[in-house]
Amino acid sequence: MTQNDTTTERVAIVTGGSRGIGRETATRLGRDGYAVVINYAGNQAEAEEAVKEVEQAGGRAIAIRADVADETAVASLFDQTEEAFGGVDVIVHAAGIMPLAPLVDLDLAVFDSVVRTNLRGTFVVDQQAARRLRNGGSIINISSSLTKLARPNYSAYAATKGGVEAITLILARELRGRDITVNAVAPGPTATALFFEGKPQELIDRIAAEPPLERLGQPEDISEIVAFLAGPARWINGQVIYANGGSAA
């Protein structure tokens, strides 16, 4: 299938699609007429609510549970998507975790869990996507502007997102001749549960005031960029798009 083929429904898998940026992205793709698979790690109720939101937006949707770092589970996720909708055109890899602590204090078991979910998860999901996306497809990884902003307490998270960007840039070149684009979107501070968790209001207000636009990003700010990369943006490839309202690196 090519981007100009309007007779075949486009199909997207959104990992981490039950909440935050992933959920808003799934709904945005539903408005564009996609069939969307909501991948989730554990909260089935949230995933089913996300399915309803996609359907209300005009798309078809199902929810499938899978650990993004488990290659067998991710292969099954793609199998089930192909069985339900006939193929896969777009993967939006938004699943991730973000425990915060100074490097000197971070428990190595926590560090290993961040690496497993954020970095290994990206590698596993992108590997299946590279093998199975149809022509005209798009792989969109969610990175973070923290790779540039270098904010204290984010060393583990930012390190994994730096790896996500490296995977993205290299995979785009490895897929030469496949008509598949590979890009990353690197949000700045965005008003999601993942961002708000554990932060005092004073810190939230201070971070929100940093960009010239003087506000936090909203999930819909990011979903619009993802939808552009998933659909019409065929000449954007092998790029990291920093979506942070102008926060200085």
Q: What is the pLDDT of residues 85-105, one digit of tens each?
A: 999 999 999 999 999 999 999
Identified catalytic residue from 34, 40, 154, 157? 157
The ranges of the chain with pLDDT < 50 are 1-7
Q: Determine whether 203 is exposed, middle or buried from the number of CB atoms within 10 Å of its CB (0-12, 13-18, 19+).
A: exposed
Q: What is the model's pTM?
A: 0.92
Angle between the 44-57 and 20-31 helix axes, to the nearest 10 degrees?
Answer: 30
CB-based contact 13:77 (threshold 8 Å): yes
d(CA 218, CA 27): 14
Q: Give the helix ranges, DSSP H, for the chain.
A: 20-31, 44-57, 71-85, 108-114, 121-132, 146-149, 155-174, 193-196, 201-208, 219-230
Please give the backbone phi and psi of residue 166, each rounded to the nearest 5 degrees, phi first. Answer: -65, -45
CB-based contact 39:13 (threshold 8 Å): yes
Give the pLDDT confidence score for residue 196 in this predicted structure. 85
Two tokens at 24? 């808003």
> What are the sequence ranges of the domains in the chain?
11-242
Q: Determine whether 52 is exposed, middle or buried from the number of CB atoms within 10 Å of its CB (0-12, 13-18, 19+).
A: exposed
CB-based contact 143:240 (threshold 8 Å): yes
d(CA 180, CA 245): 28
d(CA 42, CA 28): 23
CATH classification number, 11-242, choose in 3.40.50.10800, 3.40.50.720, 3.40.50.880, 3.30.2310.20: 3.40.50.720
d(CA 226, CA 222): 6
Give the pLDDT confidence score for residue 3 in this predicted structure. 41
d(CA 46, CA 52): 10
Residue corresponding to tokens 């990206």? 122
Determine whether 154 is an active site residue.
no
Residue corresponding to tokens 């690196």? 249
Q: What is the pLDDT of residues 171-181, one digit of tens each?
A: 999 999 999 99
User: 166: which DSSP letter?
Assistant: H
Distances (CA, A) of 157 to 99, 101, 106, 112, 174: 7, 10, 11, 11, 26
Give the pLDDT confidence score for residue 1 in this predicted structure. 35
